[in-house]
Chains A and B, each alone.
Chain A
Amino acid sequence: MMMNRGQQLLLPANPLFIWTTLILALMFNWVQNMGLWGRAAWVPDVLALVIVFWSVHQPLRVGIVSAFVLGLCMDVHQSALLGQNALAYSVLSFLAITIHRRLLWFPVPSQALQVLPLLFATHLIEMVLRMATGGMFPGWSLLLAPVAEAALWPVVSVFLLAPQKMAPDPDANRPL
C-alpha cells in the first residue's frame, strides 16, 4: 500500500475488533437515547461516524451491506420509518468508500472537515424522507448533529486505530 511519508505502518485490523466497535457504537446510540438526552435532534450519531471510519480504513471488511443492516437496527430502535436509517447509512458508506483512497493522505483535522459533508448528507437524506412522509420538523438544532459528529472524528480516530498502532514485537521496555 502506498502511504503518506512519515506515517506509521499499521498492524492488520482484527475483524472481531471492528464488529465489536460497530456494535458498541450502536449501543452507545441507545444509551444516548435511553439515559442521556432522550429525544433530541442534535444528538451525534456515533454509529454513523464509526461506519464512516471503518468504510474509509477497511473498505473490504465494512461496506454498504453492513451499514444497511446496522441502519435497520437503528430504525427499529428509534421506531422511525423502516428503512430510513438503512438508506442513509448505505449512502454514507458508499460516499466514504469513494473517498477512502484520498482521505487518509490528509492530517486528521482536515479529514474531519472532509467527513462533515458526508455526515451532513446523511442527516439531510433522513430529514427529506421524513418530511416527505409527513413528520414534524425537529428544529434547527438538527444542524448541530453532523458538526458534533465531525468534531468527534479525531477522538474516534485515536481510539479505533489504537490496537493497530501497538508494537509489533512487544517486550518489557515497550509493552504496548
Chain B
Amino acid sequence: MPLGTLDRTPPPFFRQGPSAVSKLAVCAALAVFMMVADTRLGLGTPVRFAVATALYPAQWLVMQPVNWINQSRAYFSMLGSAQEQAEAARVRLAQQAARSGQVDQLMLENQRLRQLLALRERLSSPAQAAQVLYDAADPYTRKIVIDRGLMHRIAPGSPVIDAEGVLGQVTRTFASTSEVTLVTDHDQAIPVLNTRTGLRGVAFGDAGAHAGALELRFMAANADVQEGDLLSTSGVDGVYPPGLPVARVSKVERRVDSAFARIFCEPLGRVAGTLHVMVLTPVTGQVEPRPAAPVPEPTASSKKAVRK
C-alpha cells in the first residue's frame, strides 16, 4: 500500500484545544446573547447588515440561474396565455378609464373645497417601483425580499403596495435589498377604514388556522361590518397614505360570550406570488408632530385650595 493512502497526520496528542462541551457552551451563550440583542436591545442590525453585505455576492450568484430559468419559462410560455392577460388588462383599463377621467376633476374639486374650508392638503407620497426577489425562507413569519435598498434610499417603515392593494411595510433595509413584512404577518398591524360605513379599525395578520389572512380586531360585537366590505387604509397612522385598498371582509363571527366580533378578511394585495411592487415614501415626515400636552394653568380656585 503506497504512502499517502491513509491520513498520516496523527491527531494532536497534547494540544487538544477546548473540549466539545466548552465550545458548545460558548457558542450557545453567544447565540442566546445574539437573540436577546436582536429582539430586545436592537443591537442585531449591524451584525445582520455586515453578514448580509458579505453574503450578497454569493446570493447574487445563486440568483442568476434561478433568474435564467424563470425568464426562459416566461419566454416559452404559451402565446395564448399572454393574449389572455393582455385582453384582461385591456378590459380593466376600459373599466378604470371612466373613473380615472373623473379623478382629475375630483382632485381639483377636493382641493378647492379644502381651501374653502381651510383644511390641510391631502398628503402625497412619491413612489418607486421594485421587484420581488424571493419569499424570505423563515416559515415563522411572512416576509418577502425586494431588490431595492439603502442605495435606492428606501427607508424602513415605507408602505409597499402592488396593483391590487397594500402588501406590507419595509421592516429592514440592507445595501441593495430590503425586507418587507406582509400584512398577513402575525406581528403586523395596519389601521383601516371600512369604506362602506367609514368605521375605523386595526387589522392584524392572522396566525394559526387562517394563515394568509387578516383579522379585524377589537370591533364591538354589534359593529356594522358585513361580509364583502372593503377595508382601505385610514391614514391616521401617519405612515400609510389614506385610501389604499387593504382587504375584503370574508367572514364575521358574532359570539355571545365575547364583547368583540371576530372578523376575518382576505388581503387584496397578492401576498403570495406578486412580482412587481411599488414602495411609497412614508408620509411620516409630512405630518405635523403631535402637539405637546398642555400644561394646566393654575386657576384661581386651585390657588385658593393651596392656600387653605
Give a binary string over A1-43; 1 marks a CB under 8 Å from any B CB, 0 the rest.
Answer: 0000000010111000000000100010111011100111101
Nearest-Cβ distance from residue A88 to partner chain B, whole angstroms:
9
Q: Is A158 an interface residue (CB 8 A)?
A: no
Q: Is B116 an interface residue (CB 8 A)?
A: no
Give a binary string over B107-119; 1 marks a CB under 8 Å from any A CB, 0 the rest.
Answer: 0000000000000
B118-150 with Cβ < 8 A to chain A: 133-143, 145
Judged by DSSP, the binding face of A is helix
Q: Is A157 an interface residue (CB 8 A)?
A: no
Q: CB-CB < 8 A to B145: which residues of A?
A: 79
A111-155 with Cβ < 8 A to chain B: 129-131, 133-139, 142
A49-103 with Cβ < 8 A to chain B: 60, 63-65, 67-68, 71-73, 76-84, 86-87, 90-91, 94, 97-98
How many residues on the A side are at the interface (Cβ–Cβ under 8 A)? 55
Q: Is B66 an interface residue (CB 8 A)?
A: yes
Nearest-Cβ distance from residue A90 to partner chain B, whole angstroms:
4
**A76 vs B56: C-alpha distance when bound (angstroms):** 11
Q: Is B34 an interface residue (CB 8 A)?
A: yes
Q: Is B94 an interface residue (CB 8 A)?
A: no
Q: CB-CB < 8 A to A81: which residues of B?
A: 35, 38-39
User: Is B52 a contact of A86 with CB atoms below 8 Å?
Assistant: no
Nearest-Cβ distance from residue B187 to partner chain A, whole angstroms:
7
User: Is B4 a contact of A168 with CB atoms below 8 Å?
Assistant: yes
**A30 vs B253: C-alpha distance when bound (angstroms):** 41
Q: CB-CB < 8 A to B5: which residues of A?
A: 9, 11, 168
Q: Which of A30, A41, A97, A139 contacts B62 (CB 8 A)?
A: A30
Nearest-Cβ distance from residue B58 to partner chain A, whole angstroms:
7
Q: Is B296 an interface residue (CB 8 A)?
A: no
Q: Which of B21, B58, B140 contacts A130 (CB 8 A)?
A: B140
Nearest-Cβ distance from residue B219 to partner chain A, whole angstroms:
22
User: Is A39 a contact of B138 with CB atoms below 8 Å?
Assistant: yes
Known interface pairs A38-B134, A87-B31, A97-B20; A136-B208 also in contact (CB < 8 Å): yes
User: Is A82 a contact of B135 with CB atoms below 8 Å?
Assistant: no
User: Is B186 a contact of A136 with CB atoms below 8 Å?
Assistant: yes
User: Is B39 a contact of A133 with CB atoms below 8 Å?
Assistant: yes
Q: CB-CB < 8 A to A136: which residues of B?
A: 140-142, 185-186, 207-208, 211
Q: Is B98 an interface residue (CB 8 A)?
A: no
Q: Which of B6, B20, B38, B134 contacts A34 (CB 8 A)?
A: B134
Q: Is B89 an interface residue (CB 8 A)?
A: no
Known interface pairs A87-B32, A137-B207; A35-B66 also in contact (CB < 8 Å): yes
Nearest-Cβ distance from residue B5 to partner chain A, whole angstroms:
4
Closest to B29 in A: A87
Q: CB-CB < 8 A to A35: which residues of B?
A: 65-66, 69-70, 134
Q: CB-CB < 8 A to B32: which residues of A?
A: 83, 87
Q: Which of A39, A82, A142 contacts B37 (CB 8 A)?
A: A82
Q: Is B295 an interface residue (CB 8 A)?
A: no
Closest to A74 in B: B137
Q: CB-CB < 8 A to B7: which residues of A?
A: 12-13
Q: CB-CB < 8 A to A60: which residues of B?
A: 11
Q: CB-CB < 8 A to B136: which residues of A?
A: 39, 78-79
Q: CB-CB < 8 A to B187: which residues of A?
A: 134
**A76 vs B47: C-alpha distance when bound (angstroms):** 9
Residues of B within 8 A of A (CB): 1-2, 4-8, 11, 20-21, 23-24, 27-28, 30-35, 37-39, 44, 47-48, 51-52, 55, 58-59, 61-63, 65-66, 69-70, 133-143, 145, 172, 179, 185-187, 207-208, 211
Residues of A within 8 A of B (CB): 9, 11-13, 23, 27, 29-31, 33-35, 38-41, 43, 60, 63-65, 67-68, 71-73, 76-84, 86-87, 90-91, 94, 97-98, 129-131, 133-139, 142, 168-169
In the A-B complex, the 3 residue pairs with the closest CB atoms: A135-B140, A83-B34, A87-B31
